[in-house]
Amino acid sequence: MRMRALDGGWELSRRACRGGVRFCSSSAASGTPADRYTHGHSSGVINQHSARTAENSARHLLPSLRDGLDVIDVGCGPGSISVGLARAVAPRGTLVAVDVAEDVLPMARAAARDAGVTNATFEVASVYDLPHPDDRFDVAHAHQVLQHLSDPVAALRELRRVVKPGGLIAIRDADYASMLSHPVMARIERWRALYRAVARQNKAEPDAGRHLASWAAEAGFEAGDCELNFSVRSYSASSDEEDRRRWGRDWAARCL
């Protein structure tokens, strides 16, 4: 099994193979941790998440997808990335998108319907205890999910359980401490410090990107089978003024 992961504050990409490491084929945890999702599902959060697409948020994965593969998308939210992943494996492949929050799934189903995507299904499930047998999928994808979990290592083990030997796990996560602004603005710095403190109070890890390699190692992935790379997402007037303004508006709404 390969594993590719991206850090969004930089972007971290990693592949990891199952190799000779043995894993328990049962659920990752005997009891599902009661995680608290720091962001919630306000309109500001949904607006920001709906702007994510497979093209702008899963570039690390798209080259590996082809017709006929079966994919699970964990933490799918409003489904805007899921739609692109489903298209990439159509018509013979399928996509199962899951989220622990039932109230967001109608939006995801509507996104697929509006896009004319017919090979995707959406279901309520926890990444710690997926309702699927061992070796069910060719690919597992999780975008900005591990940073919100109290036990990301258990989640990685569960993803590994449901992915076939020789399959691919693709992870992308942010690293808030690596986010920079120019000029330095005291209010932005205060926002970031406050967010990181709240996330950690919720037993989450806002700087997940820098932990992905160590979490993979704890989950049993071999370092020699990991591929790591980084990229930068820029919000600036010179590159995309509307995108910059939207980011600011949405985060302002989320903080109120």
pLDDT (tens, 9 = 90+) of the chain, 256 residues, equals 566 555 443 333 333 333 322 222 222 333 467 799 888 888 878 888 888 999 999 999 999 999 999 999 999 999 999 999 999 999 999 999 999 999 999 999 999 999 999 999 999 999 999 999 999 999 999 999 999 999 999 999 999 999 999 899 999 999 999 988 888 989 889 989 999 999 999 999 999 999 999 999 999 988 777 777 676 777 777 777 887 888 788 777 777 6
Res 47: pLDDT? 82
* DSSP states along 190-209: HHHHHHHHHHHHTT--TTGG
120-124: strand order across its sheet: 2-7, 163-173, 137-143, 70-74, 94-99, 120-124
Collect all residues with Cβ–Cβ distance below 8 Å to 118 and sequence separation of at least 6: 112
Res 3: pLDDT? 60
Structure tokens at 114: 């509006």
Give the other-Cβ count within 10 Å of 210's Cβ. Answer: 16
> What is the reported pTM?
0.85
Closest CA to 207 of 143, 144, 126, 127: 144
Give the whole-angstrom CA distance, residue 56 versus residue 106. Answer: 23
Find where tokens 């990991």 sit: 226
Res 32: pLDDT? 61
User: Do 151 and 29 contact (CB within 8 A), yes or no?
Assistant: yes
